[in-house]
Structure 1
Amino acid sequence: MVTNYAVLLTTKRIVTMGLIALLFSCKGEPKKEMVDQSETESEKKIQLVENEAEKKVDVMIDGKLFTSYRWPDNIKKPVLYPLVTPEGTKITRKFPLEPSTGERVDHPHHVGLWFNYGDVNGLDFWNNSDSIKVEDRDKYGTIVHKAVESMEDGDDQARLKVAMDWVAPDGTVLLNEHTTFVFRDTDDVYSIDRLTTLTAPNEDVLFKDNKEGMIGIRVTRELELPSDKPDIFTDANGNPTKVAVLDNEGVNGDYINAEGIRGLDTWGKRSNWNNLTSRIGEEDISLAIIDNKSNVGSPTYWHSRGYGLFAANPLGQKVFSDGEEELNYELKKGESVTFKYRILLASKILDAEDLNASFLKFSQE
């Protein structure tokens, strides 16, 4: 009996130790899987990195910054800033988010890449910034970041979904915005799809025909078109200074649209796309905005200025057509509308064949 009892205890100990070993083994296994999964995620070509403290989501391609979705308090709308070429050159104006030298300090609401409009139920969303006088702020609307709804890294593309509200000075929400950004690197051409759905939740919303709209980019000095007009620039210490004679050295910007129209003549013309080209050092650069056939007002009018504003405006038609056309677009309460744009950024000159193909592909997707 004693011998049998000892055998029984020994067997029990072995079984117990086996169960403990199995338990620890099971507990350890998921950790290994999590590490493997984390390693797999870190190896994705295009990664999205959220930083709530700095109010931004960085978009990294092969470990290098391409752009960031930002929602700082001082510019009255979320933006993508900066835009960086595949070779690592920032092509967006730094003012007013970063210290700068030799940059224009006009239009403080021109920041990075943005989307808004100049007359929404009588409120100006386009021109709003911290520079507006306090007594005038009841005329301006603000686009407020509400949430990062989802982020998805990938080798072929990354997707960022965000929510915003277009808000009147009294706090009334005029529009709910849901935007999906799709980021890609295809054949060394970086691209951004901005797919924006606007919904009128509380009342009818009128986009009155207005010059100021709708998707815009403010570029760095080298992408401007040469100009002799005096202006105010930041000096070596970053202070605004009047400049009587502009230095156009290195200023090489030029527009060309789908019809082959060039330079300032692209302003006020309809076209499926517009391409801003330049050269910085040894790097050729193309920055193109592609329209989509499904957009209201397509093909869009272009608000392409020589001083660095590059914008597409499908709704503000009166000024661009010398009064021959007018579009006052209305959303009834509960209705939605979607605008789709593709932005291409390359360290080379994109030709018309490439851009025509991109427009057709984008409109068919």
Structure 2
Amino acid sequence: MKKISLIVGLMIASAGSYAQQKVDKIQLVVKKNEKKVDVLVDGQPFTAYFFPSDSILKKPVLYPIRTSKGTIVTRSYPFIKKAGERVDHPHHVGMWLNYESVNGFDFWNNSTAIKDRSKYGTIRHTGIEKVVGGHGKGELQVTADWIDTDGKGSTLLKEETTYIFYAKGNQRIIDRITTLTAEDKEVTFADVKDGAFAIRVARELEHPSDKPDIFVDANGIETKVDKLDNSGITGQYHGSNGINGEAVWATRANWMDLSGKINNEDISICIIDHPQNVSYPTYWHARGYGLFAANPLGVKVFSQGKETLNYKLAPHQSMTLRYRTVITSGKVSDSEYNTLAKQFAESL
């Protein structure tokens, strides 16, 4: 009897040890006909690298993005009209990286809503270089061209981007490392407001607002609303600099967290800057209406004219931007974010 009890005890201990050691499996599935690469965690969707034709979207994005429980944290519009969501800025889609003024061409604001796109740029996906899945970690390497005149002109920049996806328990992490290389002529990133690395979040993660706007109603119809319904709108920014709420806009910080609830799930999204990035620590172009962006290249408007950058790349010169995004189902302390930021800084 003692022998049987001992064996059962060893089996339970072994099972507990295995449970503690279990690591989520990340799988990347290329779907060329659908212009995307699905990222799955234990067979469940996490996000997708989405690169549709120029007629639909003017840049590749990660869309949508989910928590470990499957809750979508990015805005659905413009691809899906979800009741209660804003319909502003159709170029704010998922997670992306681009800029408002590259040799005078606007890559940030370009979308099919613009009629005359002659002064707008397009980022065109050109290739999938590496796809690796694994336990707790997956990697995707892609290339793209930054082309002026709505994708009909000259290539200004060659882009090489590596996405590293991590999954562990209630946390998902996306590292994006993007190298931009000028082609045969100098490239100037004019010192402007709109850029560069960004996420557009779900309505529930916005800050409450009393301003009128246009929303999608329950029937999928775009409707002007004079007074917003702030029920369930719970977003709150918090920076490593200790500043909170919408006051974080135009402040510098090593990382910026946006926390809130969707249904009854506590959710935190944190973007972490990297010490090797231009203008570290970055200025935050983080707005209460759901735009969550870090702009290392536009400093004049954020500093109220005290600083000016106008960053330039000589022909064939490169610039690398590195960002870590942490999506947590639950709450995260400052010390945990400081640890993640330190690990990120030391990993690249």
Instruction: Tell me whether the two structures share a fold, i.e. TM-score over 0.5.
Output: yes
Aligned to 2:147: 167
Identity %: 53
1:355 matches 2:337: yes
Aligned equivalent of 1:239, options 221, 243, 246: 221
1:304 partner amino acid: A
- The whole-number CA distance in structure 1 between the counterparts of 2:271 and 2:140 is 19
Segments of structure 1 that go 5 or more residues without pairing to the other structure are 1-42
1:85–1:91 Cα contact (<8 Å) kept: yes
- Give the aligned partner of residue 345 of structure 1: 327
On the 8 A contact 1:173/1:202 being kept in 2, the answer is no
Question: Matched residues in 1 for 2:225 and 2:47: separation?
Answer: 31
> Is contact 2:170-2:330 (8 Å) kept?
no
Q: Quote the residue 1:13 is aligned against.
A: none
**What residue number does 1:151 align with?**
131
1:180 equivalent to 2:185? Answer no
Q: Kindly indicate whether the alpha-carbon contact (under 8 Å) linking 1:224 and 1:253 is maintained by their aligned counterparts in 2.
A: yes
1:57 corresponding residue in structure 2 = 37
1:262 counterpart residue number:
244
Preserved CA contact (<8 Å) 2:241 2:252: no
Find the residue that maps to 1:202 and give its secondary structure: coil
> Is 1:304 equivalent to 2:286 in the alignment?
yes
Structure 2: distance between partners of 1:257 and 1:234: 31
Asked whether the equivalents of residues 115 and 216 of structure 1 are also in contact (C-alpha less than 8 Å), the reply is yes
- Pick aligned residue for 1:335 from 308, 317, 325: 317
Q: Distance in 1 between matches of 2:216 and 2:184?
A: 43
- The partner residue of 2:205 within 201, 206, 223 is 223
Distance in 1, Cα, partners of 2:241 & 2:102: 31
TM-score (norm 2): 0.91
Map of 1:34 onto structure 2: none
Matched letter for residue 304 of structure 2: D
CA displacement at 1:216 relative to structure 2? 0.6
Distance in 1 (CA, whole Å) between partners of 2:169 and 2:189 is 38
Provide the rounded CA distance (Å) in 2 between the counterparts of 1:237 and 1:53: 31
* Aligned partner of 1:129 among 94, 104, 111: 111
* Aligned alpha-carbon RMSD (Å): 1.1
Shift of 1:188: 2.3
In structure 2, how many angstroms separate the alpha carbons of the residues matched to 1:156 and 1:285? Answer: 20
- SS at structure 2 position matched to 1:53: helix
Contact 2:24/2:169 (<8 A) preserved: no
Q: Deviations over 1:212-257 (max 9, x none)?
A: 0000100111000000000000111212100011100000000000
Structure 2 SS opposite 1:362: helix
2:104 partner letter: G
- CA deviation after TM superposition for structure 1 residue 150, in Å: 1.1
Among candidates 82, 91, 106, match of residue 109 of structure 1: 91
1:253 maps to a residue whose letter is G
Give the number of the structure whose residues are more often helix, by fraction.
Answer: 1
Bigger drift between 274-283 and 109-118 goes to 274-283
Partner SS state of residue 192, structure 2: coil
| Residues in 2 aligned to 1:252 and 1:289: alpha-carbon distance in whole angstroms | 18
Give 1:60's aligned amino acid. L
- The equivalent position to 1:84 in structure 2, one of 54, 57, 66, is 66
1:65-76 paired onto structure 2 within 5 Å: 65-73=45-53, 74-76=56-58
Assess if the C-alpha contact under 8 Å between 1:118 and 1:211 holds in 2: yes
- Quick one: which amino acid aligns to residue 46 of structure 2? F
- 2:294 matches 1:294: no
Per-residue deviation, 1:187: 4.0
Summarize deviations over 1:286-314 as a string: whole Å, max 9, x none.
00000000001110000110000000001
Which letter does structure 2 place at the counterpart of 1:126?
Answer: W
TM-superposed CA distance for 1:281, in Å, is 1.9
Match of 2:118 in 1: 138
Whether contact under 8 Å (1:44, 1:153) holds in the other structure is: no
The code of the aligned residue for 2:58 comes to K
Aligned pair 1:119/2:97, yes or no? Answer: no
Contact 1:252–1:279 (Cα < 8 Å) also in 2 = yes
Tell me which residue corresponds to 2:14.
Answer: none
The partner residue of 2:188 within 206, 224, 232 is 206
Deviation at 1:260, TM superposition (A): 1.4
Deviations, residues 152-204 of structure 1 (Å, cap 9, x unaligned) = 01103100000000001142000000000000013421000000000012211
Is residue 46 from structure 1 mapped to residue 26 from structure 2 by the alignment?
A: yes
- Aligned with 2:302 (options 320, 334, 338): 320
Letter in structure 1 aligned against 2:234: N
Partners of 2:64 and 2:194 lie apart in 1 by 22
* Matches of 2:24 and 2:324, distance apart in 1: 22
1:323 alignment partner AA: G
Normalising by structure 1, report the TM-score: 0.87
- Secondary structure at the aligned position of 1:85 is classed as coil
Distance 1:188 1:181 in 2: 20
